[in-house]
Amino acid sequence: MAEPRIAAATESDVPVILEMIRALAEYEKLSHAVIADEHRIRQTLFGPKPAAEALLAYDGDACAGFAVFFSNYSTFLAQPGIYLEDLFVKAEFRGRGIGFALLKRLAEIANERGCGRLEWAVLNWNQPAIDFYQKLGATPLAEWTTYRLTGEPLERLSRSR
């Protein structure tokens, strides 16, 4: 079995990125939450101020998986970091080292950029992913709870006095 090929996504990959986002949402039972479209992806990943970057993983000519990530910052380390927003491998390609290859490339990018950490979140029910991450030596941060503001509560806060 050949090693998966990992490539930085380009603007011409927007349709593939959207396909991967939809496949991930279906896997996570969150298809109803996807409002992303090609225009938004083009603007936010490849526009004048990219908000994130994407990697695509190929098994032969087929796109088998992807990762979307962005820079963050650790005040305690006084170093940049990388936050992995999404990592997904299509079901038919799992068990071939594609998820490992994507995370390995992200670790390389983190080291190249002088980052102090690479972090991400995983759904509590996704035991296969949890097992995979722990096998790599990743540590769950049980003492932290993630909070999120979206939609109307975010708007309301922005207008608060």
Judged on CB neighbours under 10 Å (0-12, 13-18, 19+), 66 is buried
CATH assignment of the domain containing 108: 3.40.630.30
Question: Does residue 2 carry a pLDDT above 90?
Answer: no
CB count, 10 Å around CB of 45?
A: 20
**Could you give phi then psi for residue 79, rounded to 5 degrees?**
-145, 150
Choose the catalytic residue: 58, 83, 133, 147: 133
Domain that holds residue 15: 5-159
Q: Is 58 a catalytic residue?
A: no
When divided into structural domains, the chain yields a total of 1
What is the model's pLDDT at position 1? Answer: 65
pLDDT tens, position by position, 6-53: 999 999 999 999 999 999 999 999 999 999 999 999 999 999 999 999
CA dihedral of 67, 68, 73, 78, whole degrees rounded to 10: 30
What is the model's pLDDT at position 27? Answer: 95
pLDDT tens, position by position, 103-112: 999 999 999 9
What is the model's pLDDT at position 64? Answer: 98
Find the mean pLDDT for residues 137-143.
92
CA dist 159 → 25, 149, 150, 155, 156 (Å): 31, 14, 14, 6, 5
pLDDT tens, position by position, 53-102: 999 999 999 999 999 999 999 999 999 999 999 999 999 999 999 999 99
